[in-house]
Chain A
Amino acid sequence: MAQSVPTPRRAAGVRLALHPAVVGVLGFAAALAIAHAGGSVYGATLVARTALLALAAVSLSFLIGQAGLVSFGHAAPLGIGAYVVLIAGEYGVTEMLVVLPLGFAAAALFSVATGAVALRTRGVYFIMITLAFAQMIYYVAASLSAFGGDDGMAIAARSTLFGLRLLKSDTGLAMLAVALLGLALFGLDRLIASRYGLMLRAGRANEAKLQALGLDPYRHRLIALAIGGGLAGVAGVLLANQVEYVSPATMNWHVSGELIVMVVLGGTGRLAGAVLGAVAVTLLDETLGHFTEHWKLGLGLVIVAVVLLRGADLKALLRGGAA
């Protein structure tokens, strides 16, 4: 829980400069600048895609690492966000300032409604029930024949920002995605360190004790699901704009699994780990994916190695340097 420990000796300015949100945004911004300078459209696309997937992974990391809620259905709020873009577009609404809050709200609502049931279970049962709810919404989406059914359909147009077509280029979209990722990292970090976050983390580490101290963390967890789901919805809004196409495949359990892989790969202890995980998976996809369709075999080996090597000794070793 390194985020929560204040380091009083460091000046506030230094602390802010080393904040993972700032580091992350600067890193993505640098990548974007390089891509732009090189005139590479592909580079901007890659940055946009990585940043929005990182946002989805961070929202899941908040649930898994901080709230202790291992959701295997995080593709559902992601997909809901994407469908909000598609459906709103069909009704002529393409303004980001409308679509983005709408995507957040729809995904948060889904997460709360299903979470109210899922939170009555623990452990493997929670994993299974979130998966089940995600599959349900997947089939609901596949049955929406007005919106492409099984195959999905192209969105009417990319969203506008302030009525301007700022997101028409992938560079503009990438800038928005990176900014939202930074905001999410910063906001969630504050949340984790707050009283609310303290209760959430205590409930994850030792629920029996928290109960004995007089607090049932149910409502805290429900709020966490709303926030995590809502942010995934925001990522989904960005995703639909980037791909310009929405289909039920976004809600497939593969996607949920891939998000978990990103979170685990980067480490569940800190939110910034999910960003690293998302970057690693996307880059592996882009590089190895060109050589072989079976690149996920290599990814699997990397995951096995990461999980095995994350032993106590290595962790202690890393804590001195990295954490």
Chain B
Amino acid sequence: MSAPVLALDNIEKSFGALRVTQGVSLDVRPGEVHALIGPNGAGKTTLVAQIAGALRPDSGRIRFRDRDVTGLGVAARARLGLGRVFQLSNVVGTFTALENVAVAIVAAGDRPFGPWQPALRDPALGDEAAAALARVGLADRAETRASDLSHGERRALELAMSLVQDPKLLLLDEPMAGTGRAEGERLTELLLSLKGRVPMLLVEHDMGTVFRLADRITVLIYGSVAVTGAPDAVRADPVVRKAYLGEEEAV
């Protein structure tokens, strides 16, 4: 087994007396989809913020691609290849879909300062952006303002913006939240098509999606890891059933 892409080692984070993250250790292996689930208030969002670099853990180490990134900020981690899809779709609303992807390309590229040539009249940039949109099924929405896209389309756009940066890990924060049934299905298909190529850490409430996508599942309860394992093992785990899935059948 090769080294994990992402490894959290004993992460701790408190807000005042509230220990939101309690000694969390988990890793994401190459090619793997690792799902992070847990009831509301389990500390998933706080953990995601620490992985992304928006929050510093109080103690513990975060390694990404064999580098200690604990002290790095959001932009630096993104440059190392950490792609992020936000819980609330996060795109530039006033830009078109194509411009949004162009932003992603330029931001990750080595020429973010080109001051004279109009960016979008650069055929290389335009073609690359258009191809990325086509890959997520948004080819005919390229000139639509992002704020006029449907919720699911914005999610797909965010994914396109991440993919165009050739991420080494995708951090997906509840991608299914707020999407309709058909849109959610399309998005799941899209993620399935990426599976094996890009490792993903998937934070998700929708159990159907989790069990279809995940190779391993970590259950977070009250800020600490209750169990990590294969989907079947997690599904059968009595602690998880009691705390999270309730009495009803999991899926």
Q: Residues of A with Cβ closer than 8 Å to B?
A: 1, 4-6, 190-191, 193-199, 201-202, 205-206, 208-216, 220, 223
Chain A contacts for B165, CB-based, 8 A? 213-214
Q: How far is the CA of A212 from the CA of B77 in the complex (A)?
A: 8
- Tell me the B158-184 residues at the A interface (CB within 8 Å): 161, 165
The reply to whether A190 and B116 form a contact with Cβ atoms under 8 Å apart is yes
The reply to whether B113 and A196 form a contact with Cβ atoms under 8 Å apart is yes
Q: Name A193's closest neighbour in chain B (CB-CB).
A: B118
- State whether A1 and B106 are in contact (beta carbons under 8 Å apart), knowing that A195-B117, A199-B112 are contacts in the complex: no
Given contacts A190-B118, A214-B165, A223-B113, 20 further A-B contacts (CB under 8 A): A190-B115, A191-B116, A194-B118, A194-B119, A195-B112, A195-B117, A195-B119, A196-B113, A196-B114, A197-B115, A206-B91, A206-B92, A211-B73, A211-B75, A212-B74, A213-B104, A213-B107, A214-B108, A215-B108, A216-B73
The reply to whether A194 and B107 form a contact with Cβ atoms under 8 Å apart is no
- List 19 A–B pairs whose Cβ atoms lie within 8 Å, in order of A's numbering: A1-B95, A1-B99, A4-B119, A5-B96, A194-B115, A194-B116, A194-B119, A196-B114, A197-B115, A197-B119, A202-B103, A202-B107, A205-B94, A206-B92, A210-B107, A214-B165, A215-B106, A215-B108, A223-B113
- State whether A213 and B119 are in contact (beta carbons under 8 Å apart), knowing that A196-B114, A198-B99, A199-B107 are contacts in the complex: no
B120 CB within 8 Å of chain A: yes
A315 to chain B, nearest CB (A): 12
* Residue tally, chain B, CB below 8 Å to A: 36
Q: Name B93's closest neighbour in chain A (CB-CB).
A: A205
- State whether A211 and B78 are in contact (beta carbons under 8 Å apart), knowing that A202-B95, A205-B93 are contacts in the complex: yes
- State whether A212 and B121 are in contact (beta carbons under 8 Å apart), knowing that A199-B107, A206-B91 are contacts in the complex: no
Chain A contacts for B217, CB-based, 8 A? none
The reply to whether B78 and A212 form a contact with Cβ atoms under 8 Å apart is yes
The reply to whether B75 and A198 form a contact with Cβ atoms under 8 Å apart is no
Q: Which of A191, A205, A215 contacts B112 (CB 8 A)?
A: A215
- Tell me the B22-75 residues at the A interface (CB within 8 Å): 52, 73-75
Q: How far is the CA of A191 from the CA of B99 in the complex (A)?
A: 16
The reply to whether A210 and B103 form a contact with Cβ atoms under 8 Å apart is yes
Q: How far is the CA of A220 from the CA of B78 in the complex (A)?
A: 18
Chain A contacts for B104, CB-based, 8 A? 213
Q: How far is the CA of A216 from the CA of B77 in the complex (A)?
A: 11
Q: How far is the CA of A212 from the CA of B82 in the complex (A)?
A: 8
B97 to chain A, nearest CB (A): 13
Q: How far is the CA of A5 from the CA of B143 in the complex (A)?
A: 9
Q: Which of B79, B103, B111 has the most CB of A within 10 A?
A: B103
The reply to whether A216 and B120 form a contact with Cβ atoms under 8 Å apart is no
Q: How far is the CA of A205 from the CA of B90 in the complex (A)?
A: 11
The reply to whether A205 and B95 form a contact with Cβ atoms under 8 Å apart is yes
Q: Residues of B with Cβ closer than 8 Å to A?
A: 52, 73-76, 78-79, 84, 86, 90-96, 99, 102-104, 106-108, 111-121, 161, 165
The reply to whether B90 and A195 form a contact with Cβ atoms under 8 Å apart is no
B84 to chain A, nearest CB (A): 5
The reply to whether A4 and B115 form a contact with Cβ atoms under 8 Å apart is no
Q: Name A202's closest neighbour in chain B (CB-CB).
A: B103
Chain A contacts for B121, CB-based, 8 A? 6, 193
The reply to whether A198 and B113 form a contact with Cβ atoms under 8 Å apart is no
The reply to whether B99 and A4 form a contact with Cβ atoms under 8 Å apart is yes
Q: How far is the CA of A223 from the CA of B96 in the complex (A)?
A: 25
Chain A contacts for B78, CB-based, 8 A? 211-215
Chain B contacts for A220, CB-based, 8 A? 112-113
B246 to chain A, nearest CB (A): 34
B104 to chain A, nearest CB (A): 5
Chain B contacts for A216, CB-based, 8 A? 73, 75
Chain B contacts for A223, CB-based, 8 A? 113
Q: Which of A193, A195, A205, A211 contacts B106 (CB 8 A)?
A: A195
A201 to chain B, nearest CB (A): 8
Q: How far is the CA of A209 from the CA of B74 in the complex (A)?
A: 10
The reply to whether B86 and A212 form a contact with Cβ atoms under 8 Å apart is yes
Chain B contacts for A213, CB-based, 8 A? 78, 103-104, 107-108, 161, 165
Q: How far is the CA of A209 from the CA of B121 in the complex (A)?
A: 23
Chain B contacts for A212, CB-based, 8 A? 52, 74-75, 78, 84, 86, 90
Chain A contacts for B94, CB-based, 8 A? 1, 205
Q: How far is the CA of A209 from the CA of B108 in the complex (A)?
A: 12
The reply to whether B116 and A209 form a contact with Cβ atoms under 8 Å apart is no
Chain A contacts for B115, CB-based, 8 A? 190-191, 194-197
